[in-house]
Amino acid sequence: MSKPKIAHGIIAAMITPMDDEGNVDFKEMRNQVDRQIAAGISGVFTLGTNGEGYILDHDEKLKVMKAVIEEADHRVPVYVGTGCVSTTETIELSKQAEQLGADALSVITPWFAQASQEDLYKHYKALNDVIGIPILLYNIPARSGNSLAPQTVARLADLPNIAGIKDSSGNFDNILQYIELTRNKNFAVISGNDSLILWTLKAGGTGGIAACANVLPEIMVSIYKYYQNGDWEKAQRAQDSIRPFRNCFKLGNPNTIVKMATDLMGFPVGMPRAPFNSLPDRVVQTVQKTLDKYYSEYKK
């Protein structure tokens, strides 16, 4: 039995809109789902890094995933971040996401405590054994402190529900090794670093889960479309055009900058939950100037 086809194209790593008190704004969340679908996105991913899954409580997570799944209404696949520190809690949240109608799970490695490669293998295998929808591994060692080695990913790729991996390490050689070791396993390797999407596609990967889609969804979608149509020059131009905005990430917490930029684009998504909810005025001004430049130069 072949694995379902997931993690292809450009998937929006969606933010979670919040009001001034830090409460989830479900009305705006549904609006953002519709906005992404209208832009031609291949899927929406909620409760990831940009979705502030790390700071929402269990009940909030259930409400968020329910709202996104309902609003998407089978128009595009919905990916739900369900990774927790413990295997038990990860399984519990994953089962609830499956029951609510998630199309696939994105499961970050456990964090804070160091895990061996065998620990990580057993963690994901335990989830594989009780879940009936595709599981996308999520490697982001700078945030989690644990990295999935290529050899471990190759082992996990043999399990029936482990359908792919999102790599946000920023290490392109890591992506290459994932591709090389799973090439004949019907396994998707997708970039979690927006700057590497086109290069991942060219190397045999399947697309990107893009934070920048919150700000520039049409541009992100065009990278994949141009590539699929064989127009390398336009695909490269689209990929290069996000560099000015990506350069803003070094000015503060990237998640905060993405949310601020989305707000500056005219969408009332608010700031992240405290303590990650502020940026200096000079950074806000730089982001605004960058967005202005995007409109004048890159969206022609």
Instruction: Decide: 11 and 208 in contact? Cβ < 8 Å.
Output: yes
Catalytic residue among 121, 138, 178, 226: 138
| Catalytic option among 54, 166, 259, 294 | 166
Q: What is the DSSP string of 48-116?
A: STTTTTTTS-HHHHHHHHHHHHHHHTTSS-EEEE---SSHHHHHHHHHHHHHHT-SEEEEEPP-SS---
Neighbour count for residue 73 (Cβ, 10 Å): 12
Helix, strand, or coil (residue 125) = helix
Q: Coil, strand or helix: which one is 188?
A: strand
CA gap 300, 296 in Å, rounded? 7
| 210-213, Cβ contacts within 8 angstroms, sequence gap of 24 or more | 210/10, 210/11, 210/12, 210/13, 211/13, 211/49, 211/50, 211/254, 211/255, 211/258, 212/242, 212/245, 212/246, 212/258, 213/10, 213/11, 213/12, 213/13, 213/14, 213/36, 213/39, 213/41
CA angle 108, 78, 274 (to 5 degrees): 55
Sign of CA dihedral 26, 78, 219, 207: positive
Rounded CA-CA distance 90/81 in Å is 10
* Residue 206 identity (one-letter amino acid): T
Q: Please indicate whether residue 61 is annotated as part of the active site.
A: no
The residues near 297 (Cβ < 8 Å, ≥ 6 apart) are: none
Between CA 250 and CA 194 the distance in angstroms is 14
- The answer to whether 121 is a known catalytic residue is no
Active site residues: 138, 166
